[in-house]
Amino acid sequence: MKIFYSETHRKHDPPFEVFDGGLRVPYLENPDRMDRILNALRATAWAEFSEPTDFGLDPLLAIHDKEYLAFLASCWTEWLATNPQDPSVFLPATFALRHQPKKPKSLLGRGGYYIMDLSACITAGTYAAARASANCALSAAEAVSNGERSAFALCRPPGHHAGKDYAGGYCFINNAAAAAHRLSSSGNVGLLDIDYHCGNGTQDIFYSRDNVMTISIHADPDFEYPSFYGHASERGRGRGFGFHHNFPLPKGITDADYIETLERALEILRNYNPKALVVSAGMDIYTDDPLGAINVTTEGIREIGRRIAGLALPTVIVMEGGYNNEALGVNVTAFLGEFQ
């Protein structure tokens, strides 16, 4: 399997994030995640590593707002120019209510307009890392377009919480959406998100489109992040109505429960009959993940991979979440191994 990976992700390494209640904690979406996955992949006989191609801005402008990308590019330089008391990260303190959409001119105001929470910390290397991450996904899409049956984009930072014009949940550029949009030039695309959290950014980007069928299986937003997206009633808009599906899950479900829901999602994809598939592969569905509350085992993750591979579609697999670093490499290789 071709695996696209860039060391540029190490430039994004915030020293902390802010949890509920204002608690500063070490940043869970850290470079060690990639090291654990790399070590596990290098121990296999099938991993073939490649540097990503730089596709420039055009593929990103197809899914993201131009001014939002400009904010990501300039934010850090602007922040340092203000001589902040704590120059380690940029985080706004006031967040926009999007039914009042006027965008402020100040940097902190724009930060609150373009960032939805306190985990999307911007540092000196964030934009470069996010661009490289997107290029990994675009390179995997190109490989599949050129005849590979599957390819893995080992992306960091992840992307599925990044909407058209906002960052959140460790995500700045939507890697899976970039891959899906690229593939959609050759026919309809299915995008299946199995991360523990709702792929709200992906939903936002494709909500009015019918050439990318988006499906997200995730913890119910009534009790889990991102709280305001991911309900079963959200079905798309305009031409996209009926082409988005959310499957919110209760706490504590097991492998069997998850597989039952997955089969419902796969049937929708079979009926849609896409030319290619993108999978947002979050390993935070694992039973011992510090950010999760469902009980999918490593064997369950392997079975999820087997069922998805059974669609026999050209498939781009994009790394999303997963924060139990001890188990992360094992879980990723268990999933990917089913696509060999």
Q: Which residue matches tokens 């199995």?
A: 194
Domain residue spans of the chain: 2-54+129-337
Q: What's the pLDDT at 273?
A: 98
Q: Report CA Rg, the chain.
A: 18
Give 10-residue mean pLDDT values along the chain (340 residues).
Answer: 98 95 94 98 98 98 98 98 95 84 90 95 98 99 98 98 98 99 98 98 98 98 96 98 98 97 98 98 98 97 98 98 98 97
CATH architecture for residues 2-54+129-337: 3-Layer(aba) Sandwich (3.40)
Q: What's the pLDDT at 256?
A: 97
CA distances from 83 to 113, 197, 332 (A): 21, 36, 42
161 is annotated as an active-site residue: yes
102-132 burial: b if 16+ Cβ within 10 Å, else e: eeeeebbebbbbbbbbbbbbbbbbbbbbbbb
Structure tokens, 126: 């964030």
> What is this structure's pTM?
0.97
CB-based contact 68:169 (threshold 8 Å):
no
Q: What's the pLDDT at 98?
A: 75
Q: What's the pLDDT at 102?
A: 82
**Out of 9, 161, 181, 218, which one is annotated catalytic?**
161
Distance linking the first and last C-alpha atoms of the chain: 7
Structure tokens, 143: 């490989």
Distance CA 258, CA 250 (A): 10
Q: What's the pLDDT at 20?
A: 86
Tell the burial category of 171 from Cβ atoms under 10 Å away from its Cβ (0-12, 13-18, 19+).
Answer: buried
